[in-house]
Structure 1
Amino acid sequence: MKNTIVGTLALLSAIAIANPIQAENLNHLNQLLGSKKCSQCDLSSAGLVLANLAGADLTGANLVNANLSQANLTGANLTGANLTGASLFGANLSGAILTDATLTGTDLRNAYLLNAQIEGVDLNSANLNGVKGISLEAGTAEQFHRWGVRENERGNYRAAIAHYHRAINLDPEFAPAYLGLGVIYYKHDEHSKAIANTELAVQLFEEQENQLGHQSSSQFLENMELALQIEADIEKRERGAANVGKFMGGVGSLLLQLLL
């Protein structure tokens, strides 16, 4: 029995020696939860789901792969923090300071970013699907357009539409965003919106002497209008066939009545 206990203690000691970072993480985690002050802390892979970290000092903290889903980070200071691969799904980051933070591959789906400070932050690889309150200062018209294209490819059409509109708010003459809206609206059978946005894209591309954009948008508009015309013709023929069927049925009833 003694040998077993001694062997177990030796094993635990060996694990502690071999993994000093894990012990340090635990100390830092306790520090954060106890005081909300953990500047420069190592909190990589920490489990902080639903944690109340409002106003916490996490400047320069290592939060790589940390799980902060639905955490309350209202007004938290995350200046220079490394959030690579971290999950902030549904987290409340309203008023948080994210200046110069690293958000490579960060999951920000459905997060709240109202009044968050995000100067010097690269959001190009972050997942922004459903993000709420994101400032127009978060990116350029080109960046919002790229995010829109990415969300469109993922099938997240609402998020894509929101990004395209942000691009247009930044640059009302940003033709690619109008074309992006035209494509999505056509997919969702909102044909009048699809045509209006595509026509505007064609006009802007032409004014800006963008030959590739003008050619692509013009071709899409032409094909869209052709497809809609074909659909209308088919519907008209089907409607006509249905009316003929009703007429023939009526004639049949009349003939039966004449035999009475």
Structure 2
Amino acid sequence: MKSQILATAAFLTTISLHTSVQAANSEHIRHLLATKECQNCDLTGAGLVLADLSGANLSGANLAGANLSRANLSGADLRGANFSGAGLFGVNLSGAKLSGANLAGADLRNTYLVNAELNGVNLNSTNLQGAIGIPTQIATPEEFYTWGVAEAQKGNQQQAIAYFNQAIAIKADYAGAYLARGVARYQILDQQGAFQDAQIAEKMFTSQNDNPGMLTAQAFIKELQTPQDGKVSVGKPSFFDFVGSLGSLFLQFFPF
């Protein structure tokens, strides 16, 4: 009997601790929604989907694990806030102040980051795929390249090109990014742009003594110059069909 009581007590204690850790302070949530002022608030695990928090002051607040998907945080003061593991999918963070914030493990896919302040932000394991306005200083050229390929895979060629542009802006001799951008341009029927990128990629691969890359770029150029027997394409060429048509050499530049 005693063991059963102890087991029950332990179980209830576990539930109590779990609830206290996961649940946000309801009074803090009400205060935030009413005033948009909640400095150093406890908002762990809060459900704030689609909330209008534009211009809100959440500096120093704890929003670990909170769900703010598609919320409006434009111009908000989020300095030093903890967003670790938070859901920020599709959030508007334009002009937001995020200096010193913790975004480790947060989901920032498809967020809008134009003019956001991101100095000293912890972005370890943060998912930024599809985000718009990512400052070049917070990601590597390889990350921009990978995001570009992912967008191309989904058919979002313009966004893919934007990512390849950022990769090239950071690493001017990134031959693979030029080659990938050329394919994306080919997809939107920009034949001239595709050809120019292919030529640049070929020259860079050659100067870098990258023989597989050079051969791949040459194969792309040859494909672009191949007559279509008088036929005019009425649709966008398939990104993956095209990549596959160039063989295994080309596939090494696309991490899927």
Aligned residue runs from structure 1 range 92-107, under 5 A? 92-107=92-107
Could you say if the C-alpha distance between residues 112 and 196 of structure 1 is closer, same or farther in structure 2, counting changes exceeding 3 Å?
same
Partner of 1:82: 82
Partner of 2:114: 114
Partner of 2:134: 134
1:211 aligns with 2:212: no
SS in 2 for 1:211: coil
AA of the residue aligned to 2:43? L
Provide the rounded CA distance (Å) in 1 between the counterparts of 2:34 and 2:14: 26
Partner of 2:59: 59
Following TM superposition, by how much is the alpha carbon of 1:178 offset from its aligned partner in structure 2, in angstroms?
0.7
Following TM superposition, by how much is the alpha carbon of 1:101 offset from its aligned partner in structure 2, in angstroms?
2.4
Aligned residue runs from structure 1 range 1-260, under 5 A? 17=16, 19-21=19-21, 24-121=24-121, 122=123, 125-129=126-130, 131-153=131-153, 155-207=155-207, 210-212=208-210, 215-228=211-224, 232=227, 235=229
Task: Point out where structure 2 has 5 or more consecutive residues left out of the alignment.
Answer: 1-11, 233-256
Provide the rounded CA distance (Å) in 2 between the counterparts of 1:64 and 1:143: 25
Whether the 8 Å contact between 1:74 and 1:96 is mirrored in structure 2 is yes
Deviations 1:178-233 (A, max 9, x none): 122123234555443222212101212333xx333xx2332223323444566x2x
Could you say if the C-alpha distance between residues 15 and 33 of structure 1 is closer, same or farther in structure 2, counting changes exceeding 3 Å?
farther
What TM-score do the two structures reach when normalised by structure 2? 0.69
Provide the rounded CA distance (Å) in 2 between the counterparts of 1:229 and 1:51: 52
Could you say if the C-alpha distance between residues 102 and 157 of structure 1 is closer, same or farther in structure 2, counting changes exceeding 3 Å?
farther
What TM-score do the two structures reach when normalised by structure 1? 0.68
Whether the 8 Å contact between 1:178 and 1:200 is mirrored in structure 2 is yes
Q: Which has the larger radius of gyration?
A: 1
Partner of 1:257: none
Following TM superposition, by how much is the alpha carbon of 1:94 offset from its aligned partner in structure 2, in angstroms?
1.9
Following TM superposition, by how much is the alpha carbon of 1:77 offset from its aligned partner in structure 2, in angstroms?
2.0
> Aligned Cα RMSD in Å?
3.3
Provide the rounded CA distance (Å) in 2 between the counterparts of 1:16 and 1:140: 42
Provide the rounded CA distance (Å) in 2 between the counterparts of 1:226 and 1:82: 52
SS in 1 for 2:25: helix
Whether the 8 Å contact between 2:68 and 2:89 is mirrored in structure 1 is yes
Could you say if the C-alpha distance between residues 235 and 65 of structure 1 is closer, same or farther in structure 2, counting changes exceeding 3 Å?
farther
AA of the residue aligned to 2:116? A
Following TM superposition, by how much is the alpha carbon of 1:171 offset from its aligned partner in structure 2, in angstroms?
4.1
Whether the 8 Å contact between 2:38 and 2:61 is mirrored in structure 1 is yes
Provide the rounded CA distance (Å) in 2 between the counterparts of 1:169 and 1:28: 43
Partner of 2:244: none
Provide the rounded CA distance (Å) in 2 between the counterparts of 1:64 and 1:81: 9
Could you say if the C-alpha distance between residues 225 and 60 of structure 1 is closer, same or farther in structure 2, counting changes exceeding 3 Å?
same
AA of the residue aligned to 1:235? D
Could you say if the C-alpha distance between residues 217 and 186 of structure 1 is closer, same or farther in structure 2, counting changes exceeding 3 Å?
farther
Whether the 8 Å contact between 1:44 and 1:64 is mirrored in structure 2 is yes
Provide the rounded CA distance (Å) in 2 between the counterparts of 1:225 and 1:71: 45
Runs of 4+ in 1 over 6 A off after TM superposition: 13-16
Deviations 1:70-121 (A, max 9, x none): 3221221222333234333332212211123233443334432222101233
Whether the 8 Å contact between 1:49 and 1:68 is mirrored in structure 2 is yes
Whether the 8 Å contact between 2:39 and 2:60 is mirrored in structure 1 is yes
Task: Point out where structure 1 has 5 or more consecutive residues left out of the alignment.
Answer: 1-12, 240-260
SS in 2 for 1:75: coil
Provide the rounded CA distance (Å) in 2 between the counterparts of 1:134 and 1:228: 32
Whether the 8 Å contact between 2:106 and 2:125 is mirrored in structure 1 is no
Whether the 8 Å contact between 1:198 and 1:217 is mirrored in structure 2 is no
